[in-house]
Amino acid sequence: MFGDSPPIGDSPQEPERPAVAELEAAGQAAMFGDPAPASPPAPAAPQPSTAEGQAYRVLARKYRPQTFSQLIGQEPMVRTLGNAIARGRLAHAFLMTGVRGVGKTSTARLIAKALNCVGPDGQGGPTIDPCGQCEPCRAIAEGRHIDVIEMDAASHTGVNDVREIIEAVRYAAVSARYKIYIIDEVHMLSNSAFNALLKTLEEPPAHVKFLFATTEVDKLPVTVLSRTQRFDLRRIPAATLREHFASICRQEGVEAEDEALGMVAAAAEGSVRDGLSILDQAIAHADADTGGVVTEERVRDMLGLADKSARRRLFASLLGGEAGAMLDEVERQYALGVDPLALVRSLMDLTHQVAVTQVGGGTSSAPTLEERADVEGWAARLSPGQVHRLWQLLLKGHDEVRAAPDPLASAQMALLRVTHAADLPDPGTLASQLSDMLARAPAIPAAPAGEGSAPAAVQAEASVPSIDWAALCDQVEDRGRLRVANLMRDWLRVVELAPGRLVYQLVPGIGDEPTADLRDALREATGIKWQVERGEGEGAPSLREEAESLKHAERERVLADPLVQAAFAAFPGAELIEEERAPAGVATRSRAQ
């Protein structure tokens, strides 16, 4: 059931692992007092070579850390483990989590070596600095130790695989201090397998340690997380990776430019293994024209970073409001196979770099000199408000492109919106301009009394009865006569209103005769008989007409404001958008609620 683990030492080939039945037989012999079979002598580890007849080993395998001092970027975890070993406070289960290539499996193997190291003289104990010379250290490094069992949970996901582990942990270690189970990609185990492992994981025998590694810790059950000591391995900073790659190049006898190593470190995205794979490719990419030197130009071509110069040209055209140049660059990138969504995302990344550079004091961390110079120039020229507005426009465009049936057309329209917005002032500048325009605007004289037309509500104020017509409409509505209440509010013009008497006119366009319905509804609402008739004369506006009149008057007042007139002068073609809300002075129940 146990998958073969790749060799991590210097041996070019991995010795054959013993079968599970042999492991259990050896454990039973040790448990019942029979002499344990001695581990086979370790063969001499030949030095790696690219000579004929020997397979080349990639840098990611050749330079796997063999001691904790070689494990870069994980100092907090190493310090914690060192203190735990020194004080004898070792957990029974460890969980290593992090992105790919930061050293999770390598850390598990180093812990196995640290716990089982006996020193060159065979008298040592657990140590954070395993000697690498004793038989346990060498056997673990070469992947042949009988008591260090690795299992790939991606290919052994079932409960039967875990049941074999549960049966085997009862037997003592054959030749080591601890029997160690390293389960890689542990999140791939099934729920049944996790449940079967829980009891053993919580209370394992004293001679057993579990080491788990996973890239997706959120998929592990909480019951498993609570039974392990968790270490979150961090991404390796680009500067640390660059120094590490430079050291490897010196050991390999390869000359590499600092800018080239910086590009490799940036492309690795915090993963040592990814970076070493890219470095391997870069070394192979170097040819006789450069004397075998890993140059910045070769790495840029290899990684496709030449497109970043096109991205910067596109970004410059956006900031300059050059719509034609922007569209040409988008077409050129699309013809080269660049996805429109990826194009917008790259512009967002560049905007983020500019914002971070502004906050960081004007120094960019871009991998190339040209990109650093451009980003630092934009950071100095643009204001923080402009950068954040650009980010919001690109973010909106990104969502539109992702949902559009034609991503290219959507990307072009979104970027055109950005180019047009480049000519607009930021909010601070706009407020200053409007203030200046307001100061220079002539005063608008107030209309003399009696001049102009007053709102209809004011004209009819003298004819409004003393009884509150709006409150009477609410009473009718409270009695459940909704249709009549709406008719009273929207279509009735009151000519005369007194207790028990209503004379009304209808708004033109209503053909029905509502007198009988009005009489019944008013009697139910007030408890008295009403004389209701359709009369002659000029009635007061209906409640709806009064509200519309007040709304129109409010709009005219706003449009006459000097600040609003200055805003319209600054933005030709702008429109006044009205908010849906109850006009002041209209006390209808629906508005009040």
pLDDT single digits (tens) 360-394: 877 777 767 788 888 888 988 888 888 998 999 99
Residue 512 has pLDDT above 80, yes or no: no
Band (452; pLDDT cuts 50, 70, 90): very low
pLDDT at 385: 84
pLDDT, mean of residues 174-180: 92
Average pLDDT over residues 451-477: 61
Rounded mean pLDDT, 60-83: 90
More confident residue, 538 or 7: 538
Q: Which CATH number is 238-303 given?
A: 1.10.8.60
Residue range 29-42: average pLDDT? Answer: 40
Per-residue pLDDT band for 289 (boundaries 50, 70, 90) equals: low
pLDDT of 422:
67
Phi, psi of 9 (to 5 degrees): -95, -150
pLDDT at 560: 84
What the block records as the tokens of 534 is 């359709």
Pairing of strands 93-97, 208-214: parallel
Three-state DSSP state, 304 = coil
Residue with tokens 């991998």: 367
Confidence band, pLDDT 50/70/90 cuts, at residue 534: confident
Six token digits for residue 392: 């919001």
> pLDDT (tens digit, 9 = 90+) per residue, 294-320?
888 888 778 766 567 888 899 999 988
pLDDT for residue 459 is more than 50: no
> Tens digits of per-residue pLDDT, 430-446?
666 666 666 665 544 44
Whether pTM exceeds 0.85: no
Model confidence at 579, pLDDT cuts 50, 70, 90, reads low
Q: 494 forms bridges with which residues in the sheet? A: 504
Q: What is the mean pLDDT of residues 160-182?
A: 92
Q: Is the pLDDT of residue 194 over 90?
A: yes
Say if CB 196 and CB 159 are below 8 A apart: yes
Do residues 313 and 359 lie in contact, with contact meaning Cβ atoms separated by under 8 Å? no
User: Which of 38-52, 196-210, 314-328, 356-370 has the weakest average pLDDT?
Assistant: 38-52
129, 139, 124, 130: which is closest to 175 by C-alpha? 139
Q: Is 94 exposed, middle or buried (0-12, 13-18, 19+ CB in 10 A)?
A: buried
Q: Are 313 and 416 in contact (CB under 8 A)?
A: no
Q: Where are the alpha helices (DSSP H) in 422-528?
A: 427-440, 456-459, 469-478, 482-490, 515-526
Confidence grade of residue 3 (pLDDT, cut at 50, 70, 90) = very low
Percentage of residues in the chain having pLDDT higher than 70:
79
Asked whether residue 589 carries a pLDDT value surpassing 80, the answer given is: no
C-beta separation of 132 from 140 below 8 A: no
The domain ranges of the chain are 20-44+53-232, 238-303, 306-421, 456-545, 547-592
> So what's the pLDDT on residue 123?
87
- The pLDDT of residue 541 is 86
Question: Which H helix or E strand runs over 148?
Answer: strand 148-152
Question: Pick from 190, 242, 235: which is nearest to 215 by CA?
Answer: 235
Q: What's the confidence (pLDDT) of residue 439? A: 64
Average of per-residue pLDDT values in the chain: 80
φ, ψ dihedrals at 475, nearest 5°? -65, -40
Q: What CATH number does the domain located at 20-44+53-232 have? A: 3.40.50.300
Q: Which candidate, 551, 544, 546, places its Cα nearest to that of 456? A: 546
The CATH number given to 456-545 is 3.30.300
Q: Which residues contact 94 (CB under 8 A, 6 or more apart)?
A: 108, 111, 209, 210, 211, 212, 228, 229, 230, 231
Statement: residue 45 has pLDDT above 60: no
Distant-in-sequence, close-in-space partners of 491: CB < 8 Å, separation ≥ 6: 506, 507, 510, 542, 544
Burial class (CB in 10 A: 0-12, 13-18, 19+), 507: middle
Q: Average of pLDDT values for 527-538?
A: 83
Read off the pLDDT band of 454 (50, 70, 90).
very low
Instruction: Answer whether residue 479 shows pLDDT above 90.
Output: no
Q: Are strands 208-214 and 492-498 parallel, antiparallel or unpaired?
A: unpaired
- Asked if domains 20-44+53-232 and 306-421 share a fold, the reply is no
Find the mean pLDDT for residues 183-187.
Answer: 93
Question: Between these two residues, 426 and 251, which has the higher pLDDT value?
Answer: 251
CATH 3.30.70.20 fits 306-421, yes or no: no
- Average pLDDT estimate for 477-495: 86
Q: What pLDDT is attached to residue 28?
A: 40
Higher pLDDT, 5 or 522: 522
Contact 50, 92 (CB under 8 A): no
- What is the rounded average pLDDT of the residues 515-541? 85
What's the pLDDT at 501? 87
> What mean pLDDT do residues 169-198 have?
92
Output the DSSP codes for 388-451. Answer: HHHHHHHHHHHHHHHH-SSHHHHHHHHHHHHHHHTTSPPHHHHHHHHHHHHHHSPP-PPPPTT-
The confidence score (pLDDT) of residue 290 equals 65
Burial of 354 (0-12, 13-18, 19+ CB in 10 A): buried
Q: Which residue has the higher pLDDT, 439 or 121?
A: 121
Rounded Cα distance, 159 and 167, in Å: 12
Stretch 469-481: mean pLDDT, rounded?
87
Higher pLDDT, 513 or 413: 413
